[in-house]
Amino acid sequence: MNDRLVSVRVKGDFALFTRPENKVERVSYPLPTPSAARGIVEAIFWHPQFTWRIAEIHVLSEVKTYGILRNEVNSKMSPARSEPYYADDDRSQRHSVCLRDVDYVIFAEPVVPPGGSEHAKEFRERFERRVKRGECYHRPALGCREFAAEFEPWDGSVEPVPWNEDLGLMLWDLDYQVKPPFWPKFFDAKVEAGVMRVPAHPIGGAR
């Protein structure tokens, strides 16, 4: 494995990595999107002097799905609201297709600005120390805040599942330089022997 990469094993009882084409009924991708994986590693260690690039995601357990109905409100709470808000009057039930008993290894690289490459090794070491100690800035989540993730160092003791599939287009990230609604970027996602390799750039991006 590339020595510029760090790794972390993340597990959880439930996960939901929502496909953006499903507006009302939430349907999960079968594994984390690169942006969801980045959110996990940033929860463990974030620093303004670099950004995380997700390189690979290994799937260590069979993909299992289940459906749930959740109560949700239809509107967002505004801080400028002057009248009382009653959630019971604005509630609806939505169906979600989620994942259960998930287990992944995320491989990521700290990308520093030009001239700062000497700090990359320090950032990798700080991340690895935090993983070993179980330290995080906030609890990592598996797609939704209510689906908390456990994390630990990756020791290579479990092999990825024997899974091969062309997943088609998957969300790579959102372009926050564009005003809302933010512009989504995609890539051609493929799982080979339980491993999804993430390109450095989305479709149409720099090569």
**pLDDT, tens only, 145-161:** 889 999 999 999 999 99
Say which amino acid occupies 82.
Answer: S
pLDDT tens per residue, range 22-58: 767 889 999 999 999 999 999 999 999 899 999 999 9
Structural domains in the chain, CATH included, are 6-72+92-197 (3.30.70.2660)
Question: Which distant-in-sequence residues (6+ apart) come within 8 Å of 131 by Cβ?
Answer: 6, 8, 44, 151, 152, 153
**d(C-alpha 20, C-alpha 144), whole Å:** 14
| Distance linking the first and last C-alpha atoms of the chain | 22
pTM (predicted TM-score):
0.87
Tell me how far apart the alpha carbons of residues 189 and 140 are, in angstroms, rounded to a whole number: 23
Residue 40, token pair as written in the block: 């996990």
150 with 11: CB under 8 angstroms?
Answer: yes
Percentage of the chain exceeding pLDDT 70: 88
